[in-house]
Amino acid sequence: MKWMLKSVITTPKVELLCSKQGRPSGEPSEISYWQKINELETIMNSKVYTCHNESVLAEFVPFSTPKFKIYKRMGVPSALSENLMEKLQILEKKHESSLRNLDLRQSTVLSMVKKISKIRSNLAYCLLDLGVWLALKAAESLSCYKSDFFSWGKLDVFGEATLKKFSLEASQTLATYIPPGLNWSIGDNIESSLDAGLLTTKVRCLIECLLEYRELDDIRCIVFVERVIAAVVLQCLLDELLPKYCSWKTKYIAGNNSSMQVQTRRKQHEIVEEFRKGMVNIIVATSILEEGLDVQSCNLVLRFDPSATVSSFIQSRGRARMQNSDYVLMLESEDLSTHSRMKNYLASGDIMRKESLRHAHDPCPSLKSDQFDEEFIALKALELL
């Protein structure tokens, strides 16, 4: 939500600093939200104004319509998942044992073992949450010598080759569970792939959500995920599946703070620009795109993974800038705590608006002269989008 601020400060220089720490989290509370609004007014020596309802603001700032997409969790069949998890663990121990038998420094061995464990953990996540096919795509990406997806950190040629060898052997193990034949494709029969554990119901829910909008001529969609590896493999899935239904193009953007990810800022800016121009229709992104991306034609935001905080919820919802845009929240049917949290996040806007209106006639707190120096005033504010 954008607040209309009427500043009464006269100063040579003003800087607005947005503080995530200042945003309320957890369940909405009238008291906690008013405390933050009052803190903003005190620091700025200003009053915060808003409108009586969202529809008035919507005439100037488009709001996306929240929609819940509920799916019943059904993952990989237990016998298959247990079998594959065991094979990945055996493979991990095999490579760990090989490293310990080499004439390497202990610190090098421990570092390599830790990285192999992290790769195995990412593959396990893909297997259990996304399905065998996406776990295979993760392993293939990690094992590709020409891949620009991942960075292995400060490793020599031997170290990098060792990690990629582990990933390659993992991909070979996973590939034995994929139907043979050059003509087979993951999109041939979604239900059959679901029954075989190649996909999960969560992935099917994503596919169904997107295909509901396939009649749109000029879609701009951001799919928010929690993990870098999820962004990578979901792009692989959509690249293979969507051409059967439409001409949409997909790319992924993931944050630079991941030790596995080497996507440059320049590359990310290029993808965003392609998104603006309509050359890319779907971006699968981590939280890096929750703030700062302002594409007026973005008409669909889809939360594959739920927001962890109210700040993340508000920021990701705000990426849908076009009139009549949608904000789709994928939720597992039996995850009642997440259902409750999302409903609380939705209520937060109304609570902030009501608290601002309730205190609209309260006098503005006086500004203490010793808070700021002569040439610079730092205004620490809540960024409420």
**Residues 225, 172 share a domain:** no
Across the range 103-112, mean pLDDT stands at: 85
Do the domain assignments include residue 295?
yes
pLDDT of residue 156: 64
**Residues 169, 225 share a domain:** no
Q: How far apart are CA 381 and CA 17, in angstroms?
A: 6
More confident call, 35 vs 90? 90
Domain count, the chain: 2
Do the domain assignments include residue 98?
yes
Q: What is the domain extent for residue 161?
A: 78-176
Q: How far apart are CA 240 and CA 217, in angstroms?
A: 20
**Residues 67-86: tens digit of each pLDDT:** 999 999 999 999 999 999 99
Are 271 and 284 contacting, i.e. CB atoms less than 8 angstroms apart?
A: no
pLDDT higher than 70, residue 320 = yes
Q: Which of 153, 176, 199 is the last residue of a domain?
A: 176
pLDDT of residue 153: 55
Question: Does the global pTM surpass 0.85?
Answer: no
At 243, is the pLDDT very low, low, confident or very high (cuts 50, 70, 90)? very high
pLDDT of residue 15: 35
Do the domain assignments include residue 1?
no
pLDDT higher than 70, residue 383 = no
Q: Checking phi first, is residue 157 left (phi over 0); if not, alpha (psi -120 to 50) or beta?
A: alpha
Give me the residue label for tokens 């903003």.
40
**Burial of 215 from C-beta contacts in 10 A (0-12 / 13-18 / 19+):** exposed
Do the domain assignments include residue 141?
yes
Do the domain assignments include residue 303?
yes
Q: Which of 176, 201, 236 is the last residue of a domain?
A: 176
pLDDT of residue 351: 82
pLDDT higher than 90, residue 177 = yes
Across the range 376-382, mean pLDDT stands at: 43
Q: Which DSSP letter does residue 204 get? A: H
Do the domain assignments include residue 200?
no
- Residue 318's domain is classified under what CATH number? 3.40.50.300
**Residues 308, 242 share a domain:** yes
What percentage of the chain reaches a pLDDT higher than 90?
48
Do the domain assignments include residue 370?
no
Helix (H, G, I), strand (E, B) or coil at 228: helix
pLDDT higher than 60, residue 45 = yes
How many residues does the structure list for the chain? 385
**Residues 147, 91 share a domain:** yes
pLDDT higher than 70, residue 13 = no
Across the range 131-158, mean pLDDT stands at: 75
